[in-house]
Amino acid sequence: MSTLKIGIIICDRYSSCAGGKCFRSFEKKEGAFKIYKGKQVEIAGFTTCGGCPGGNIENAPEEMKANGVKVIHFATGLVVGYPPCPYISYFKKFIETKFEMEVVIGTHPIPEKYIIPHSELQSWKDPIWEELLAPTLCDEKMRKEYN
């Protein structure tokens, strides 16, 4: 069985993040990583977007691709930050078009502590968010495990 290499791009607001929730969910194949259950996968790249408006989006995927990465995950922080990344749909389309790489929105399950404020703020009211949140919007028990 060949190993699928993936990369993770996080929001620059979280540039000091050690990636603990992402790596934990990767190991357990939870959240957006559940698509890899039963597959051999390795994380072969981890970087930030470079800060708004995402300057690193123009070159990081190229480097990841040169190192064998086939799929890029945008970390859950891009959807749960305040505000959620306003460029996320464009970044996804850009990488898929320019680099011909699959992009998955999310890594670890959305922590419960983000659900209530974003609901009250109506951060995710646009219908596009239903699709963007789907890979990481787990049940309440799992969301609380990632608080």
Summarize pLDDT for 4-54 with one digit per residue, the tens: 999 999 999 999 999 999 999 999 999 999 999 999 999 999 999 999 999
Indicate whether this model's pTM tops 0.75: yes
Do the beta carbons of residue 103 and residue 74 sit within 8 Å?
yes
| CATH domain 4-145 topology | Rossmann fold (3.40.50)
Per-residue pLDDT band at 105 (split at 50, 70, 90): very high
Do the beta carbons of residue 69 and residue 7 sit within 8 Å?
yes
| Residues in Cβ contact with 93 at an 8 Å cutoff, skipping those fewer than 6 apart | none
Q: CA 102, CA 123: separation in Å to the nearest integer?
A: 25
Mean pLDDT of 91-98: 98
Note the pLDDT of residue 143.
96
Nearest to 74 by CA among 66, 64, 127, 118: 64
Note the pLDDT of residue 59.
95
Note the pLDDT of residue 90.
97
